[in-house]
Amino acid sequence: MKYNFHHGTLSVRDLQRSIKFYELLNFHEIFDWKAEDRSLQITHMKNGPFVLELFCYAVFVEPPDSIHSIDTDLPVIGTKHIALQVDDIIEARTDLIQKKVIDDTVQITQGRTGITYFFVPDPDGILVEIVEDKRGL
């Protein structure tokens, strides 16, 4: 039996705002569904083989404050973040500064696993890791 990654899911407050944000990271919409009672809308976006599923509930529950800081959220059991790989981490940082996704205080870090990275918060504060991985794994 072969298992392949299909998608990751995020719940968001404002679907259009999140779609615009993820478009800046080279995702594009491929599917949209709306409940007849407007209680839920689901949009699928794609970047290469990766499918991002966005859930937007009319009535949502606020997340704990810990999700907004990688330092406090990593020990909490559960899904942590998504990561997008780039060929040049410095160029990616410059691109996201120019697009006003981040400011110039965001620093590139050398990870314990041998990659370089920085984090970008999406419109809901969900962390997206931008990664340069030259390990050839």
Q: Which residue has the higher pLDDT, 118 or 76?
A: 118
The neighbour count for residue 75, using CB atoms within 10 Å, is 7
Interval 35-47: pLDDT, tens: 999 999 999 999 9
Instruction: Give the separation between CA 112 and CA 2, rounded to whole angstroms.
Output: 30
Mean pLDDT of 64-78: 75
Amino acid type, 98:
Q
Q: Which of 121, 124, 5, 119 is nearest to 56 (CA)?
A: 124
Q: Which residues contact 124 (CB under 8 A, 6 or more apart)?
A: 10, 12, 13, 18, 63
In terms of Cβ atoms closer than 10 Å to its own Cβ (0-12, 13-18, 19+), residue 35 is exposed
Interval 47-70: pLDDT, tens: 999 999 999 999 998 888 877 777
Q: Is the pLDDT of residue 77 over 90?
A: no
pLDDT at residue number 65? 81
Interval 3-33: pLDDT, tens: 778 899 999 999 999 999 999 999 999 999 9
**Entry pTM:** 0.87
Interval 91-128: pLDDT, tens: 999 999 999 999 999 999 999 899 999 999 999 988 89
CA distances to 22, 25, 46, 111 from 88, rounded to whole Å, are: 19, 14, 21, 15
Please check whether residue 89 is in contact with residue 118, taking contact to mean a CB–CB distance below 8 angstroms: yes
DSSP single-letter state for residue 49: T
